[in-house]
């Protein structure tokens, strides 16, 4: 029997749970189950005013965005934000409801430049995220993807794995910085002034 769905169902109000719409085997469910993102609040606390100015983007939401980009193979942060607008699993992972307005790309880069540029906080946080994912088995412990290619990390050598994770974290930070520069140029704005790079010497490398 030929069946035709009623198209007006699209405009009818429905009571649904976002949790029911995200597949149980989705990669973001696994990450959400094993990663405690609250460590981010302690790291960034001194970068935020406690009683001055308007409320900021939740730093956990801000740092989860590059996590989505990395895990789901999205080519840019701008595209990541566009995808979050229509992807239920991404919204679920960020803890944002269906009607919540997703931050614009310019809001994201302003948060990055004001709070993280010139520090190694972004790299610290993203590297910690990758390390926890690897330990939990959410990301293949032998392979980390960087710029569309993969770099082998020797599972039996923690130092080697740390180096590759650090490289991946730095790549994504540099990619975001490049997107910011392109956006500023497109809008006729001067490039951001470079700050002295943080000391990234790792005592364990000696």
**What does pLDDT average to in each consecutive run of 10 residues of the chain (206 residues)?**
69 86 93 90 82 74 88 89 95 92 82 80 84 78 48 49 70 80 82 51 40
The model's pTM is 0.73
> Would 37 be classed as within a structural domain?
yes
pLDDT of residue 193: 63
Look up residue 98 and give its DSSP letter: T
> Would 9 be classed as within a structural domain?
no
Give the Cα separation of 165 and 144 in Å (integer).
7
pLDDT of residue 79: 93
- Number of domains present in the structure of the chain: 1
For residue 87, which of 100, 95, 98 has the smallest C-alpha distance? 98
> Would 169 be classed as within a structural domain?
yes
Give the Cα separation of 149 and 146 in Å (integer).
5
Containing 151, the helix (H) or strand (E) segment is: strand 149-152
Give the Cα separation of 173 and 122 in Å (integer).
7
> Would 18 be classed as within a structural domain?
no
> Would 51 be classed as within a structural domain?
no
**Residue pointed to by tokens 């595209």:** 79
> Would 134 be classed as within a structural domain?
yes
> Would 77 be classed as within a structural domain?
yes
pLDDT of residue 150: 41
Can you read off the two tokens belonging to residue 196? 């002295």
| 3 state DSSP class of 72 | coil
| 3 state DSSP class of 14 | coil
> Would 5 be classed as within a structural domain?
no
Give the Cα separation of 49 and 55 in Å (integer).
9
pLDDT of residue 203: 39
Q: Can you give the residue range of the structural domain that contains 75? A: 23-44+56-190
pLDDT of residue 5: 67
């Amino acid at each position: 029997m030929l069946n035709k769905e009623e198209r007006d169902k699209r405009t009818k109000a429905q009571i649904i749970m976002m949790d029911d719409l995200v597949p149980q085997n989705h990669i973001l469910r696994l990450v959400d189950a094993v990663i405690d993102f609250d460590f981010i609040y302690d790291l960034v606390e001194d970068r935020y005013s406690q009683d001055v100015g308007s409320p900021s983007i939740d730093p956990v939401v801000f740092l989860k965005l590059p996590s989505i980009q990395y895990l789901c193979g999205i080519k840019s942060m701008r595209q990541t934000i566009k995808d979050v607008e229509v992807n239920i699993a991404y919204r679920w992972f960020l803890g944002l409801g269906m009607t919540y307005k997703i931050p614009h790309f310019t809001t994201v880069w302003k948060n990055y430049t004001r709070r993280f540029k010139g520090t190694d906080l972004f790299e610290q946080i993203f590297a910690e995220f990758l390390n926890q994912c690897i330990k939990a088995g959410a990301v293949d412990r032998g392979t980390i993807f960087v710029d569309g290619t993969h770099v082998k990390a020797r599972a039996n050598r923690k130092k080697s794995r740390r180096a590759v994770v650090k490289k991946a974290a730095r790549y994504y930070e540099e990619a975001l910085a490049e997107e910011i520069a392109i956006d500023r140029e497109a809008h006729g704005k001067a490039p951001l002034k470079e700050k002295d790079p943080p000391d990234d010497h790792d005592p364990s490398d000696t």
